[in-house]
Structures are given as structure tokens and as C-alpha cells.
Amino acid sequence: MSTLAPLVLLLPLAGFLVNALFGRLLPRRVVAWVGAGSVGASFLVVLAIFGQVLGGQRLDQTYWSWWSTGDFSVPFNLYIDPLSTLMMLVITGVGFLIHAYSIGYMADDPGYSRFFAEMNLFVLSMLLLVTSGNFVWLIVGWAGVGLCSYLLIGFWYERTSAVLAARKAFVMNVIGDVGMVFGAFVIFLNLRALDYGTIFARLHQLPRGGTVITAICLLLLVGAIAKSAQLPLHTWLPDAMEGPTPVSALIHAATMVTAGVYLVARMHLLYDWAPTAAAVVAVIGALTAFFAATIGTVQVDIKRILAYSTMSQIGYMFLAVGIGAYAAGMFHFMTHAFFKALLFLAAGNVIHAFRDDQDIRHMGFLRRGLPITFWTFLIGTLSISGAPLLAGFWSKDEIIRSALTGTNTLTVALGVLALITAGLTAFYMFRLFFTAFGWEWLAHDERHLHEAARVQTVPVMVLAVFSVIGGYFAVGSFLNPVFGEARQIGAGAQIGIGLVAVVTALAGFLLAYQLYARRPALAPAIQARLRPVHTLLWRKYFIDELYDRIFVRPGYALGAFLSGVFEPRVLDGLAAGVVSFVQLVAGDWRTWETGRVRRYALWTLGGAGVIAGYFAWVLLVARSAP
């Protein structure tokens, strides 16, 4: 295993290097083979590692010492256990399918090799993030993921909206990165280590629930919520739709947004040690799940709806890891990767068929035009909505169950919220399905609709299979060695809560069916009646506008103030003030050279004045004081 593990990283790295350096020179076929093949080969290696991990093997090996000074050293060590293995499986497996799909989807794009190079780098960063055994390399991967998302969201840099979206994602991610770095810094200050093994071993030196551990967990959480697009650092994710659709699939399903969940799960010993911080995680998760679902009910852009659904589903995972149901959270991460990748890739086919129109109100009659896409999308919709026996049902049900059977009122309340969200999920997903795939027909002629190429439909079908059977993988028992045995829940409660969840989802489905399939005229009427609510949701609770007012505009104003008023007036004024006394003594200083040079000299004198003032203070006040 110690030789296999680096291979997982080296393969995408090789793919990235080949495509980045020689991509322009190579024929497209080769670029595609290198891009998708490197990730596929990496997946095969991960499968081999998976077998060994099933056999009980673990790995925490140092390959190389990056640098060491004094007592402080940063090794490059890989940390392989069931948790990182699960992550690797999904990243490389789903990642490979998305890469394969991109071969067809991006076929006509001039930036073919750049696309595959950046996608490979994205996968590499994510793999580094989940296999690193210390915080330094975790942060390197973390920042790499942010960088790649910036590059890929802004892939079509000719579009102003894409560049703006990329910048927004970057800024939000940097806020998170700063939180991460500070978190790691506080850990190092208190535990004198940055590798996981030592941190976990020394964790008990800190008082349980104390300020330090809570601060650490909250700082790490800032990084996690930025990367996972949770409240209040979520606004970048819906805008990230500006990137090519496979990028959206990769960001939403296999990489990036799940990094936050992974971080909390990986640091679960820390969060167990800081119950307050864990509760914050759960609250943020449940609120985001509900909040995003409500916005999803009114949007009309197919990718935007899916983006809000991602936020909502990640919210479920945060809720799970926040209440200590780590295995349930990771289980949902896996099933979500299947059906969300499926939904995005299928949506990509739809968008291509409608020549890049993403408005669901302009779509329709897809069952005959794009039968494979139609049926696979339906499976994805059923799975995410929690239809019984499909993958999404099992994992979501487990989270809701863990919350509802929780020991304190907060957990139970969050569980109820999660249950309501499940109903909303079924509603907005079927609203999307009925509107886009249903019987409405507006602007397009049937004959122009064509199913996508084989290379695009096969990955979707594979994902559809996993969206059905994914719920039967025994993720919980696989992860037991990491998180410990899950809490046992009585069979009665299990069935009861399962039934309630199904009924809630069914209610959502029926409502969508009534409004968007049976009686389409009803929806606009209701929308008119509830105009304020609709506007609120349509404008996404005005959070973008709020941030613009609070942060962006004052930021620009501060910059303008500093360069326009502060520096010329105040600082120069200060310097001039110090100097005016000297001027008085020295007489007519103004004849001394031209205006600007004189002003520069005044600065120098002003600076000297500050230092002199300090010394005068030291000598006259500080030293004479007893």
C-alpha cells in the first residue's frame, strides 16, 4: 500500500503536466485519453487500496520531509484509512465518469487541453486534500481546489459574468482559507504539531469544551463552510454555474463542496471534544438545507436549481456530522455524489440539446427527443427526493433518523427542519422535472432535439445504476473503524421515521404534480397571490445585495478614501504638522525645491519626528516614572 498510495496522486499529476505542457501540440484524441485515462487509472489504483483497507490495512507514512527548522518540521505523509479511501473512491470514480463525459461535451471547445489540464489538477488537489496526513498539505490541497475552481468557473473568460463568478468564488474561498490557516496556526501553537496522528494523541491536553478547542473547531469551520457553500458564505456556488457543466458536476458531486464535510469528519475527534462547535455545525447545516431548498422552489435556471439543491444536500451532511452521525454524513456524501453527478451531466445534455438555453420554462418534450437523458434524470430526481429503496432514500433517512432520535431538543428540532426540507426537496425537484421534461412546449421544434453522443450517455447511465443501488453499500460498517459503532435505534422507530419521511416526500411530489403537471395554470396564480414571498425567494433572500451593501461598496469606498483623501490630506497633513514647527524656526523653507520633492522630504522629517517623539516620551515619561 505504501507504494500504491502515492501513485493515486502521481497519475493525475502526470495527466495534468502532459496536458498543460504539451496539450496544444497533441491531437485531441490523445489529450482526451490522457485527461480521462489518468483519472481512470488512478481509480483502479484506489480500488486496489480499497481491497487492502477492507483487509484491515492502514497507512500513515512519511515519504519526504519538506523542511524542518528546530522543533518544527513538515513531512509529506499520506494518511489512508476507510474515510480517506471512501473519499478517494468517489473522487476518482465519479471524477472519471465526468472526465469521460467531458470528452464529448467539450468536443468543440478551443480550450480542450486547458480544460483537461485544469480538471486533472482539480482532481489532484482534491486527492491531496483527502490523503494528506497533516495540515500543511491539507491546506495546499485546499488552496489548490480553490484555485482550480477559480480557473474552471472562469473557463470561458470571454464572458464577463464568468469572470465575475470566478472572482466571487475565489474571494469567498480565500475567506475560508484564512479561517483554515488560522485554525491550523492555533492548533500548532497549542499542540506543537501539525500532523493528524500527533494532534489526535495530544488532543486531551486541552480542556474539553474549552475556549481553545472551540476556537480551533470554529476557525476550521469557517474554512469548511466557505468551501462547502454553507450559510453565510454560500453565494459563490449558484454563480459558479458559469463554468462548463462538467465542471459543475465535478464541483458539486465529487470534489470541492464535499471538502468541508470531509474536514469535519476527519477532525471528528476535535469536534467531539468541542460540543458547542459541533452544535454550530449542525445548526448551520440544517438552516442551509432548508434555506437553499426554499430558494430552489422558484428558480428557473436548470443549473441554478441543481446548485441550490447541492447546497441543501450538503446542509444535510453538515447536520449529520454536526450531531455526531459521521457515518451517515459520509454515506449521504457518497449517494449524493452519484445522483448529483447524474443530474448535472444529464442537465448538460439537455442544455446542449437546447443550444445552451438553461431556462426550464423553454424546455419540454424531452421523453421522445432525449429518451436516455429523460429516464436517467427521472431516476436522479427520484433518488434525491428520497423515493423508497433508491440510494438517496437510505442515506437521507439515516440522517433524519439520527437527528429525530437525538438526545437534546436542539437536535430534534433540527431533525424536524430536515424532514420539512425533504418535502421541499421532492417539490422543487419534481417542479424542475415536470417543467423541463414534461408536456409544456414553447419555443423549440421537436425535430431539432437530439440525444447526446454515446460518450456522454454511458457515464450518465452508469451513474443512474449507482443512484439506484448505492444505498445498499455498507458504508456505515466500512467506516466503523474510524468513527466507532453507530448508535443503535429500535426497529419500530426506524420504520416509523422512514414512513414519515416517505410521506413528506410524497406530499412534495404531489404538490409539484398538481401545480406543474396537472393544472399548470394554477402555479402563476399562486405566484401572484404570494408575490412578496416569491420575490424574496426569487432574489435569494437579497443576500447578494446585502453583501454588496455591507462589504463590497464600503470596501471600494475605503480604498478610494485611502488613496484619494487619507494619503494626500491626512498623512501629508500629519507630516506637515510635525514640520510646521521646524518651518517656523528655519524660516522660509518653501523656496527649497519644487513642491513635490519638498513634500517627500517632509515625510522623511515627519517619520524622524515620530521616532524622536517616541524617544522623548521614553526619556521624559517612561523612565522617570517609578
Q: Shortest distance, CB of residue 181 to other proteins, whole angstroms?
A: 9
Contact (CB, 8 A) for 307 and 242: no
Query: Judged by CB, which is closer to other proteins: 552, or 597?
Result: 597
Q: Decide if 85 contacts 58 (C-beta within 8 A).
A: no
- Minimum CB separation of residue 163 from other proteins in Å reads 8
Q: How far is the CB of 20 from other proteins (least distance, A)?
A: 10
Name which of 503 and 562 has its Cβ closer to other proteins: 562
How many CB atoms lie under 10 A from the CB of residue 493? 12
Minimum gap (Å) between residue 338 Cβ and other proteins: 34
End-to-end CA distance of the chain: 68
Task: Kindly tell me which of 525 and 570 has the beta carbon lying closer to other proteins.
Answer: 570
CB nearer other proteins, residue 365 or residue 603: 603
The radius of gyration of the chain from alpha carbons, rounded to an integer in Å, stands at 28
Compute the least distance from the CB of residue 603 to other proteins, in Å.
5
Residue 259 CB, shortest distance to other proteins, in Å, is 18
CA distance 393 to 119: 31
**Does residue 195 sit in helix, strand or coil?**
strand
What the block records as the C-alpha cell of 514 is: 398538481
Residue 447 or 623 having the CB closest to other proteins: 623
Pick the closer one to other proteins by CB: 3 or 69: 69
* Residue 66 C-beta: closest distance to other proteins, Å: 8
Q: How far is the CB of 261 from other proteins (least distance, A)?
A: 25
- Closer CB to other proteins, 157 or 472, in the complex: 157
Cβ proximity of 273 and 261 under 8 Å: no
For binding to other proteins (CB under 8 A), which residues are involved? 66-70, 72, 140, 143, 157-158, 163, 174, 178, 189, 559, 562-563, 567, 575, 593, 596-597, 599-601, 603-604, 606-608, 610-612, 614-615, 618-619
Q: Which is nearer to other proteins, 163 or 507 (CB)?
A: 163
Smallest gap from Cβ 148 to other proteins, in A, equals 14
Residue 70 CB neighbours (<10 A): 5
Compare residues 482 and 579 and give the one whose CB is closer to other proteins.
579
Nearer to other proteins, 499 or 612 (CB): 612
Q: Which of 368/596 has CB closer to other proteins? A: 596
Task: Give helix 82-105 / helix 475-483 axis angle, nearest 10°.
Answer: 130
Phi, psi at residue 352, to the nearest 5°? Answer: -60, -45
Query: Least Å distance between CB 214 and other proteins?
Result: 21
CB of 26 to other proteins, least distance (A): 16
56: Cβ contacts below 8 Å, ≥ 6 apart: none
Collapse the DSSP code of 26 into the 3-class scheme (helix H, G, I; strand E, B; otherwise coil) and give the result: coil
**What 3-state DSSP class applies to 453?**
coil
Q: Which residues contact 580 (CB under 8 A, 6 or more apart)?
A: none
C-alpha cell at 242: 458559469
Could you please report the per-residue DSSP string of 294-308? HHHTT--BHHHHHHH
Half-sphere exposure of 453 (CA within 13 A, CB side): 9
Q: What is the DSSP string of 519-539?
A: -TTHHHHHHHHTHHHHHHHHT
How far apart are alpha carbons 565 and 505 in whole angstroms? 59
Q: Which amino acid is at 434?
A: F
Dist. CA 578–CA 22, nearest whole Å: 61
Write the CA distances from 564 to 556, 567, 570, integer angstroms: 12, 7, 10
* Residue with cell string 484524441: 29
For 78, the enclosing helix (H) or strand (E) is strand 72-80
Determine contact, residues 274/214, Cβ cutoff 8 Å. yes
